[in-house]
Amino acid sequence: MSPLQLGLIVGGVVLVVGVIIYNWWQERRVRRRIAETFRKPDVAAPPAPAPSGARVEPTLRSAAAKAAPPPEDAAAAVRVPEPEYAEPAWDAPMDVIAHTAPPAPGIPVDEAAPPRGIARSTETSAGPLREPDPEIECVLMLQPAKPVAAGALAAGLHARLGKRLRWFGRTVPEGPWQPLASDTRGAFVEIAACLLLADRNGAASRAQLDTFARVIGELAPLLPAAMSVPDAGAEADRAEALDRLCADVDVQIGLTVLKADNGSIPGTKLRGIAEAAGFRLASGGRFEWLFEDTGAVAYTLQNLRNEPFTVDTLRLSATNGVVFVLDVPRVADPVRTFDQMKLAAKRLATTLACELVDDNRRPLDDAALAAIRKQVDAATAALRDCGIEPGSPRALALFGA
């Protein structure tokens, strides 16, 4: 055996023995620490007993309690370690601005029940305040290190996340918000990216909110800019609560004009009468009646059959009836608009020798129409009680596809 081989063998034996000794020493050290820990006297005072018959509720410390200094008899206080959370998949750019989710209006901060309404918006159907709406949007704030042009946000401005995405900027601190597009001029010292939390397709999902945060998080270091990072779980809960709220107050009213005895209405005749009454054929396969002052849709006229109206179908076919539809959240004055729609439906039924019926094809007399009008009035009041003005930009966003 050569000296080299002998040296390698001896070195290997020494290494193995060293590892065994080190492991034994570490194990002994840990055992000694455990023993010393359990030999320490227990200084934690037991909790005070509850009065007889009293109910003890589990509680969470409020923010004020967390910020308060420890009591003088600290030895008698039981300390609970704060939970540790996993770091995000991407590094926060530059700095992270503290982000606090706004509490639900009218509900105590400590209460966990979902909100039954949102704060009333300052926007109106006549003209919105073009600014972020944190009640219905997840808002991420960017504070660039120096003013940036809108063109620097191109990657974010053109993002498609499955929900409406709006961008706003301020040219001076605390100044008015300005909607941003790729060709917007100016340099902005503060930027807000706003993702809609819910619409008629449902609530924004956790995946959509995570993607939203990731897109803005990847854009921020390119500016560079400090960025706020809201809790995605809390925002997803807000989206679900908002979606449930909107579902509760989402009302559409339909009045059916039906040809009796299985008769039919020629498409060409229907189109002529509808256009003479002020309707226009829209790309969605329905006729729309618009407000003259705003150009907004007041109500629509749709095929009773599950077929859209087109120029070709109206020329070549007929239908057994049509439906007037009032989308209550999307019109500025639902009750007044219903009155207009009711008169238009009566006139069309008379002109086409049809009956005015409900969804169950029961004739609608004046008493029945008055009852429907009360439903429209109640739905309008419910929307306003929830902080949603019918026909406003907020309502159009929440009750759009």
CATH classification of the domain holding 331: 3.30.1400.10
- My answer on whether 264 and 378 are in the same domain is yes
In a domain, 176, yes or no: yes
- My answer on whether 218 and 331 are in the same domain is no
Domain boundary among 230, 248, 266: 248
Q: How many domains does one find in the chain? A: 2
Q: What is the pTM of this model?
A: 0.68
Domain boundary among 248, 275, 308: 248
Give the per-residue pLDDT at 401.
76
In a domain, 187, yes or no: yes
> Mean pLDDT, consecutive 10-residue segments, the chain of 401 residues?
78 78 64 46 41 35 39 36 37 37 38 55 57 95 94 91 95 93 93 96 95 93 90 94 96 94 92 96 94 92 94 94 96 96 96 92 94 96 95 94 76
- My answer on whether 100 and 237 are in the same domain is yes
Domain boundary among 248, 266, 286: 248
In a domain, 32, yes or no: no
Give the per-residue pLDDT at 91.
37
Domain that holds residue 336: 250-398
In a domain, 267, yes or no: yes
In a domain, 47, yes or no: no
Give the per-residue pLDDT at 201.
95
In a domain, 52, yes or no: no
CATH number at residue 174: 3.30.1400
Whole-angstrom CA distances from 117 to 129, 200, 220, 266, 335 are 20, 17, 33, 47, 22
In a domain, 197, yes or no: yes
- My answer on whether 193 and 310 are in the same domain is no
- My answer on whether 226 and 270 are in the same domain is no
- My answer on whether 202 and 288 are in the same domain is no
- My answer on whether 244 and 261 are in the same domain is no
- My answer on whether 314 and 265 are in the same domain is yes
In a domain, 89, yes or no: no
- My answer on whether 208 and 276 are in the same domain is no
- My answer on whether 160 and 192 are in the same domain is yes
- My answer on whether 288 and 161 are in the same domain is no
Give the per-residue pLDDT at 23.
67
- My answer on whether 219 and 287 are in the same domain is no
